């Protein structure tokens, strides 16, 4: 008789095991990740699974609840004391009696950072660098003079199958008190990131400790976003964001580098500012998630190279000019306390590798999240900020660059421009016959020509126009014939419509009358043309490097991408021609990538390896950049066709 067949879902891994094998052991042998803190003592409840009943013809399995052992005394006790959801079993106790299909429930991870888009829901397979390991330790004995720590070490290595184990020094003075307090039981937080690394106990609690948290943080030059995540369930316990206080030293990245160059204590000031803001965010997420700082054991940070360096306390001056040398490009593994971040005393900090002097750990995180290297389609990923980071590739090859788009897409340096916030115009339509506009603002569902609009924006009024609004208004002006292919506002229309008016020697379009009056000037149109030409030219260079004349899929990362309408992005020629239904906004993909690296160390190896293979293109040094840029100044482009747009 052959042994029962067990199939684990959703991984699809399967194997045959003798009758009586605990389901958890079968999972372990197949490399299916199931959490366990108590080491199979039926006390932590982390190892829950569900048996699927039915006839799984495709796999030739008939799975039934009769094929699993009934609840034993320990499991029943757990159910009495802690409760067990219906159909759930503790895999450490439940034994295989016959063919089984076992579901390993994955807690859904919600990306709360995505403010206005449907929440990004995704499941991240878990295998974090931190494991919580409960043990029972032999009591001291005069005939066995070994130290308490040494007996703890032996117990941990035996129960958790570790070949070697070290302890963080700060634990030595605490170990005797903890073991006695726990009546010779304890839970160790064991850190092991890379396979080659020695496992280390980084924290210790008396008795069973069934909680462990981590931080995933994206340090943007404008905003900092943080998630507090349970390392044991993968659940996001809290998310928060704040503006980067370094803004007071300089709006954009280059002005912050200049500030460091001009002021002897400039680097120090900006490092302190960003670390304080991060510490404030830790307070916020801890309060929101009812979590103690001491329970945070790991953290993952991403950011562009300048944010990355300033956060680590590294002078970013070298990044201000060619050859844009990074102090460190590989992943950084340190203790959180090394940079004064107060979490658990032993907490670790991991930063993803940087791709190049202009393309940082944030772009690496976006790549990890979107995974061009995991698929066959030619995927373009665009993260628009004051610098656009562009990644293009597929399984065969990935190339990356950054392009100096300037701040126009964020609403800066545009006459009526502002950041995306309630009151900002985000959608615009212009009637091609009358040239009359209508618009919608953030915070209201109504168009400006609908009844009740004014009441709906009463709280803020209409305050300005944000990046997505600027894209739409310029595209609509082009579609309505107000601006030419070269972006020139047609002054002749002023005879037909009061919306087109002369300002000095050029013409402007009046989008909104009254207070504040919002006009789109010739200079505004130029600023958008320059920004979009820089983005397109960078993309075009990467396409040439890939020897491709098309892209299959476009992902817009970051806040900007979430709000722009792909159709208008294409009307302006911001992005190359592509099926519109294959252009999507992916929200804070850098934050999602950071969460992946937090919850699964396999993703750290994956992105380290991928980044080492990504080919970096320095747009400033490429002779063809200028040529592409000039063609891309036209709307949508002087030479490149957009067949999908007309279709």
Q: Is 47 in the site for ligand FES (CB under 6 A)?
A: yes
Task: Considering the complex, state which of residue 75 and residue 362 has its C-beta at the smaller distance from ligand FES.
Answer: 75
| Binding segment toward ligand FES, per CB under 6 A, in 35-43, 239-247, 553-561, 585-593 | 35-43
Q: Residue 371: which residues within 8 A CB-CB, separation 6 or more? A: none
Distance CA 48, CA 194 (A): 27
Tell me which residues in 52-111 interact with ligand FES (CB under 6 A). 90, 92
Q: Residue 581: which residues within 8 A CB-CB, separation 6 or more? A: none
Closest CB 128 distance from ligand FES, rounded Å = 16
Task: Considering the complex, state which of residue 25 and residue 552 has its C-beta at the smaller distance from ligand FES.
Answer: 25
The backbone region for 619, taken as left when phi is positive above 0, alpha when psi lies in -120 to 50, beta otherwise, is alpha
Tell me which residues in 344-373 interact with ligand FES (CB under 6 A). none
Q: Is 36 in the site for ligand FES (CB under 6 A)?
A: yes
Task: Considering the complex, state which of residue 40 and residue 587 has its C-beta at the smaller distance from ligand FES.
Answer: 40
Q: Is 46 in the site for ligand FES (CB under 6 A)?
A: yes
Measure the N-to-C terminal CA separation of the chain; round to a whole number of Å. 62
Q: Is 212 in the site for ligand FES (CB under 6 A)?
A: no
* Of positions 6, 42, 232, 310, contacts ligand FES by CB under 6 A: 42
Distance CA 44, CA 358 (A): 46
* Of positions 40, 360, 385, 591, contacts ligand FES by CB under 6 A: 40
Task: Considering the complex, state which of residue 79 and residue 268 has its C-beta at the smaller distance from ligand FES.
Answer: 79
Q: What is the DSSP string of 567-602?
A: HHHHHTTSS----GGGEEE--SHHHHHHHHHHHBHH
- Site size toward ligand FES (CB under 6 A) is 12
Counting DSSP H helices and E strands in the chain, the numbers are 17, 31
Tell me which residues in 412-451 interact with ligand FES (CB under 6 A). none
Task: Considering the complex, state which of residue 27 and residue 399 has its C-beta at the smaller distance from ligand FES.
Answer: 27
Task: Considering the complex, state which of residue 189 and residue 477 has its C-beta at the smaller distance from ligand FES.
Answer: 189
Query: Between 305-312 and 361-370, two packed helices, what is the crossing angle to 10 degrees?
Result: 120
Tokens of 316: 């970013």
| Binding segment toward ligand FES, per CB under 6 A, in 4-12, 37-45, 190-198, 566-574 | 37-45
Q: Is 237 in the site for ligand FES (CB under 6 A)?
A: no
Closest CB 12 distance from ligand FES, rounded Å = 23
| Cβ-contact 629, 530 below 8 angstroms | no
Radius of gyration of the chain (CA): 28
Look at residues 478, 466, 479, 471 and name the one whose alpha carbon lies nearest to residue 518: 466
Task: Considering the complex, state which of residue 22 and residue 266 has its C-beta at the smaller distance from ligand FES.
Answer: 22
Distance CA 212, CA 294 (A): 9
Closest CB 135 distance from ligand FES, rounded Å = 13
| Cβ-contact 407, 386 below 8 angstroms | yes
Distance CA 182, CA 158 (A): 19
Task: Considering the complex, state which of residue 37 and residue 480 has its C-beta at the smaller distance from ligand FES.
Answer: 37
* Of positions 4, 45, 372, 573, contacts ligand FES by CB under 6 A: 45
| Cβ-contact 385, 303 below 8 angstroms | no
Tell me which residues in 292-331 interact with ligand FES (CB under 6 A). none
588: β partners: none
- Report the residue closest to ligand FES, judged by CB: 92
| Binding segment toward ligand FES, per CB under 6 A, in 7-15, 43-51, 441-449, 619-627 | 43-51
Task: Considering the complex, state which of residue 235 and residue 438 has its C-beta at the smaller distance from ligand FES.
Answer: 235
The contact set with ligand FES (CB under 6 A) reads 36-38, 40, 42-47, 90, 92
């Amino acid at each position: 008789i052959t042994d029962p067949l067990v199939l684990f879902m959703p991984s699809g891994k399967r194997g045959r095991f003798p009758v009586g094998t605990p389901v958890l052991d079968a999972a372990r042998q197949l490399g299916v990740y199931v959490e366990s803190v108590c080491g199979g003592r039926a006390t932590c409840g982390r190892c829950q699974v569900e048996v699927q009943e039915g006839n799984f013809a495709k796999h030739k399995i008939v799975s039934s609840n009769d094929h699993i052992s009934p609840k034993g005394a320990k499991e029943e006790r757990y159910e009495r004391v802690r409760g067990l959801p219906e159909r759930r079993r503790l895999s450490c106790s439940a034994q295989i009696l016959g063919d089984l299909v076992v579901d390993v429930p994955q807690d859904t991870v919600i990306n709360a950072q995505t403010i206005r888009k449907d929440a990004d829901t995704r499941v991240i397979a878990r295998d974090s660098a931190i494991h919580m390991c409960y043990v029972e330790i032999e009591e001291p004995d005069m005939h066995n003079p070994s130290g308490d720590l040494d007996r703890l070490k032996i117990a941990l290595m035996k129960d958790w199958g570790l070949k070697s184990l070290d302890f963080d020094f700060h634990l030595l003075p605490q170990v005797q008190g903890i073991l006695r307090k726990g009546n010779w039981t304890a839970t160790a937080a064991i850190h092991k990131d890379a396979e080659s690394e020695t496992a280390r106990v980084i924290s210790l609690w008396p008795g069973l400790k069934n909680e462990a948290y981590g931080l995933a943080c994206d340090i943007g030059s404008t905003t900092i976003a943080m998630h507090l995540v349970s390392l044991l369930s993968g659940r996001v316990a809290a998310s928060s964001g704040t503006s980067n206080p370094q803004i007071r030293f300089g709006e954009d990245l280059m002005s912050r580098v200049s500030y460091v160059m001009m002021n002897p204590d400039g680097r120090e000031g900006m490092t302190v500012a960003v670390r304080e803001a991060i510490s404030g965010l830790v307070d916020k997420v801890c309060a929101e998630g009812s979590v103690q700082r001491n329970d945070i054991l790991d953290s993952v940070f991403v950011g562009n190279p300048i944010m990355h360096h300033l956060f680590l306390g590294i002078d970013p001056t070298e990044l201000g000019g060619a050859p844009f040398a990074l102090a460190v490009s590989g992943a950084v593994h340190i203790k959180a306390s090394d940079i004064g971040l107060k979490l658990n005393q032993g907490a670790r900090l991991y930063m993803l590798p940087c791709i190049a002097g202009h393309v940082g750990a944030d772009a690496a995180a976006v790549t990890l999240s979107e995974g061009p290297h995991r698929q066959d389609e030619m995927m373009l990923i665009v993260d628009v900020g004051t610098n656009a980071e562009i990644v293009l590739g597929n399984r065969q090859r990935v190339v990356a660059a950054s392009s100096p788009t300037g701040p126009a897409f964020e609403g800066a340096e545009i006459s009526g421009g502002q950041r995306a916030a309630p009151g900002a115009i985000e959608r615009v339509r212009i009637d091609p016959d009358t040239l009359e506009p209508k618009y919608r603002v953030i915070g209201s569902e109504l168009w400006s020509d609908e009844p009740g609009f004014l009441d709906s924006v009463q709280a803020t009024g209409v305050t300005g126009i944000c990046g997505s609004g600027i894209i739409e208004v310029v595209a609509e002006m082009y579609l309505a014939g107000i601006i030419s292919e070269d972006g020139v506002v047609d002054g002749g229309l002023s005879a037909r419509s009061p919306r087109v008016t002369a300002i000095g020697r050029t013409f402007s379009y009046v989008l909104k009358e009254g207070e504040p009056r919002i006009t789109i000037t010739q200079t505004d149109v130029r600023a958008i043309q320059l920004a979009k030409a820089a983005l397109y030219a960078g993309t075009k260079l990467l396409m040439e490097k890939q020897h491709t004349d098309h892209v299959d899929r476009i992902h817009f990362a970051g806040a900007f991408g979430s709000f722009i309408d792909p159709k208008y992005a294409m009307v302006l020629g911001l992005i190359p021609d592509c099926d519109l239904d294959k252009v999507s906004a992916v929200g804070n993909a850098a934050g999602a990538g950071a969460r992946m690296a937090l919850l699964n160390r396999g993703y750290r190896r994956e992105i380290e390896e991928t980044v080492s293979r990504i080919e970096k293109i320095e747009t400033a040094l490429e002779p063809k950049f200028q040529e592409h840029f000039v063609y891309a100044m036209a709307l949508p482009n002087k030479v490149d066709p957009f067949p999908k747009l007309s279709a």
